[in-house]
Structure 1
């Protein structure tokens, strides 16, 4: 049941996103579109409650609970960023808004990758916190080895993403021929 719910939450995320952006830019109903977009966190709340109830009702902690924690961590750290990024592209493509800035090249791209890495650290911290809460909740009554293995997976994800950010720092992405070098912009975090 947890796996089906994770899939339903992911599909629901994209359906609500498409509906919200469609209402905002195609139907010219920005308030209703924003209201639909604000419903997205409810999906994650449902997943959290159902996963907790599953453990409360005596389910054996396994990989499904680990994946649910990783998914929840990811949506906490990247959900708003994804919605904002797609909203900018929808405004550009569907409503004649300004072209969204890309990740850039050189130092600007490296800074962008490090900001994404910080999001990954937040995602891992949330997932590890949820997993630790589940481990303590189950206690000695059950085998929690699968949950602890997912804590290790969260740390590995942080490490791999850190290596990617280091690579962009050491070997920066080159600008296309004839393009002006980009500068790192101060302002809100990506």
Structure 2
């Protein structure tokens, strides 16, 4: 069985990362999305086990001690982490998997999965980022102010990624993201494995003139 491909998608809060991934998976439902653990409060409309595994600090720290995470970080006073066992199981099944994580987590994932494909998404301007954060109405003003303050540090991490998408026009950004996933599946090594029988038929069956 062909092993699945691991992807990391990162962006500053408000850049549209989550919406783009949701739209991509609507087009390519075979792509899995890792459900991270977090200690942050659940937002309106979120479901435990769907958007995140919501746990308390004690539980999260016990998982860290047990080595359960492939990556984890503390962001805005809350922990976020990705289960190592969950990633390995999905990839072993042959399914591609997206990790929607920040740049700190991406560094940890690269160290353990050198073949990971990474994508960074940026807003078209700081003004647009500010408007998006205030417009979604999910966070208090002080939280938004902190997110904006952290955004510069986050956005400076983009050179460490394989691909960069500027999310100015959502439909264009979605097409660009889809191209990355499609192109990855057409890489030579993966195609040779996926199309092994077809290639053997093409190359090894003599034809009469």
Shorter-chain TM-score tier: under 0.3
Higher strand share: 2
Higher helix share: 1
User: Which has the bigger relative contact order, CA under 8 A and spacing at least 6?
Assistant: 2
Q: TM-score, normalised by structure 1?
A: 0.25
